[in-house]
Amino acid sequence: MKQTKDYITEEKRKALEEELKDLKGPKRKEILEALAYAKSLGDLAENAEYHQAREDQGKLEARIAKIEQILRSSEVVSGGGGEMIEVGSKVVVQKENHGKNQDEKKTYIIVGSEEADMAQGKISNRSPFGEALFGKKKGANISFDTPKGKVHYKIVSVS
């Protein structure tokens, strides 16, 4: 099931708003001061401080634009909690590998692409694994392609 919307959690929305406030306030002022200082050094053609400050300003403005776009276009979701897997759902899966570690269960949370972090068990709803899980219920078997071949999982629980 292909996902077309972008999703973020309430926590991510708050974090992005805080970052935006910081970037538009203190960070922007800091870069403008660095630019003013670099201009005061003279010849701009060979002024490394000026070129670095301009590059930093470009990166800052790009990040501000990116955050504003995310906040504008993303739908804020609360945790799942239903029987069907959706963004915010906590899912326990068991790999069907007919061999070692067959009883090993793993827990994942389905999140929007901006929050995906495999190390924390947060998988994107747009990843192959997330797409395979999306819309399924407890007890369902899923499979998806990886670079090492097709993998199969059973959904143990959804919350």
Domain ranges of the chain: 6-77, 90-158
Q: Which whole-number Å values give the CA distances from 45 to 19, 49, 57, 138, in the listed order?
A: 33, 11, 17, 64
Q: Which two tokens stand for residue 85?
A: 């897997």
Rounded distance, CA 70 to CA 80, Å? Answer: 21
- The winner for highest mean pLDDT among 56-65, 84-93, 141-150 is 56-65
pTM: 0.71
Q: Which CATH number fits domain 6-77: 1.10.287.180, 3.40.50.10470, 3.40.50.1110, 3.40.50.300?
A: 1.10.287.180
What CATH number has the domain spanning 90-158? 3.10.50.30
pLDDT band at residue 79, thresholds of 50, 70 and 90? low
- pLDDT tens track for 43-60: 777 888 889 999 999 999
Nearest to 151 by CA among 91, 89, 88, 99: 99
Domains 6-77 and 90-158 fall in the same CATH topology: no
> Closest Cα to residue 44, out of 29, 28, 31, 36?
36
